[in-house]
Amino acid sequence: MSTHQGEGPDADPGQQLISVTRKGTRESQPLPASPDAFVWLRLCQEEAWRQGVPRGRRLPLWWTLRRPWRPLNYHAARAMFDRANDLLGSNWTLHDLRHTAAYRMARDPKMPLTDVQWVLGHAHLSTTEIYLAASREEVIESVLAHHARQAHQQVLPPAPAPGYDPASLNVLFGRRP
């Protein structure tokens, strides 16, 4: 994530943008964020500032909560996840958050996959397409729903082709008139 706070170029609540630094190019890219993201950012900042984290227009958005205060980088965030996982008996990673967001966006029928590709910074659309694959549970649910719809459809025999006498076809196929 980028390093400047609040009113700087890296968090723009008015436009709902938070800038990230791309891993490959090291370029800064503003990305849309939910209104909730800015609420949580501010709550985290307020708590950190109460504890003594430095604040200022050109200082980092995210800080470690252990002294000495340091900007929260990838390795510190990973260590934070490791500590939380130890307490919870789970195994979540930062990348799991990225995958979850990507999966949800890709599965939204009103969001073009090319937009998801741009947000994720994928060079190739085929990389983004992996998020379209349905889970085992989704496939089972979908197929069971298909079978239920089929079971409720009324099956009517096809109408005879022009020129055939329906009474003759009933006799031929053993159907009652």
Other CB atoms within 10 Å distance of the CB of residue 63: 22
pLDDT of residue 2: 39
Q: Is the pTM of this model over 0.75?
A: no
Q: Is 5 a residue whose pLDDT tops 50?
A: no
Cα 72 to Cα 70: distance, rounded to the nearest angstrom: 6
- In tens, the pLDDT along 73-122 reads 888 889 999 999 999 999 999 999 999 999 999 999 999 999 999 999 99
What distance in Å separates the CA atoms of residue 54 and residue 61, rounded to the nearest whole number? Answer: 10
pLDDT, one tens digit per residue, over 8-43 is 458 899 999 998 888 888 888 999 999 999 999 999
- Neighbouring-strand partners of residue 32: 17
Residue-level pLDDT at 177: 66
Who contacts 44 (Cβ-Cβ below 8 Å, separation ≥6)?
A: 62
Verify cis geometry, omega within 30 degrees of 0, for the bond prior to 68: yes
* 6 band by pLDDT with thresholds 50, 70 and 90: very low
pLDDT tens, position by position, 74-88: 888 899 999 999 999
Cβ–Cβ under 8 Å, residues 45 and 5? yes
Q: For the chain, give the percent of residues with pLDDT over 90.
A: 56
Cα 52 to Cα 67: distance, rounded to the nearest angstrom: 10
The pLDDT assigned to 108 comes to: 94
- Give the pLDDT confidence score for residue 7 in this predicted structure: 38
Q: In the predicted model, is pLDDT for residue 158 greater than 80?
A: no
